[in-house]
Amino acid sequence: MRHRVKLKKFGRPSDQRKALMKSLVRELFIHETIVTTTQKAKAASQLAEKIITHAMKKDLSARRYVNTFLNDRRLTNKVVDEIAPRYEGRKGGYTRILKLRKRRGDGAELAIFQLIKEE
């Protein structure tokens, strides 16, 4: 039984799993749309939503929090100054996962993982 277990392990050690999630979120913020498996997109969306929510504060501690995950000052500035202000009136749901097809090699279900365009 998986009662109260929220973490997907993806068959990887914890350091590799953390690196995978950070790299998926980094690529999401750089390109704003990526193609990955559905399960990886669902796991990375939680982290991306937390980062955007913290970035909306726009203070020094928020920038430092975002930078701990992204580890890139330019990308941190982009998230805090460009991406987060798009969602000012929104309380959540900054990402979208659209299912595509099954991957030919291993049958994994692919999905488009993207930031919602908020105008």
pLDDT of res. 15: 94
Does residue 70 lie within any of the structural domains? Answer: yes
- Residue 52 domain-assigned? yes
Residue 8 lies in a domain: no
Q: Mind listing the pLDDT tens digit for each residue in 73-99?
A: 999 999 999 999 999 888 889 999 999
Q: Is residue 39 part of a domain?
A: yes
pLDDT in tens, 6-29: 888 888 999 999 999 999 999 999
Provide the pLDDT for residue 45: 94
Any domain includes 4:
no
Residue 6 located in a structural domain: no
The reported pLDDT for the residue numbered 14 is 92
Q: Does the pLDDT value for residue 4 go beyond 70?
A: yes
The whole-number pLDDT of residue 119 equals 60
pLDDT digits over 33-69, tens only? Answer: 999 999 999 999 999 999 999 999 999 999 999 999 9
118, pLDDT greater than 80: no
Asked whether residue 2 is domain-assigned, the answer is: no
Domain total of the chain: 1
CA distance 35 to 38: 9
Q: How far apart are CA 52 and CA 86, in angstroms?
A: 10
Q: Which secondary structure element, helix H or strand E, spans residue 22, and what is its range?
A: helix 14-31
Structural domain containing residue 89: 14-115
How far is it, in rounded angstroms, from Cα 26 to Cα 86? 18
The bridge status of strand 95-102 relative to strand 33-37 is unpaired
Helix 60-70 and helix 14-31, axial crossing angle in degrees, nearest 10: 110
pLDDT at residue 7, rounded to an integer:
81
107: domain CATH number is: 3.90.1030.10
Instruction: Using alpha carbons, select from 64, 61, 29 the residue that is nearest to residue 44.
Output: 29
23 belongs to a structural domain: yes
User: Which stretch of DSSP H or E encloses residue 110?
Assistant: strand 109-115
What's the confidence (pLDDT) of residue 89?
A: 87
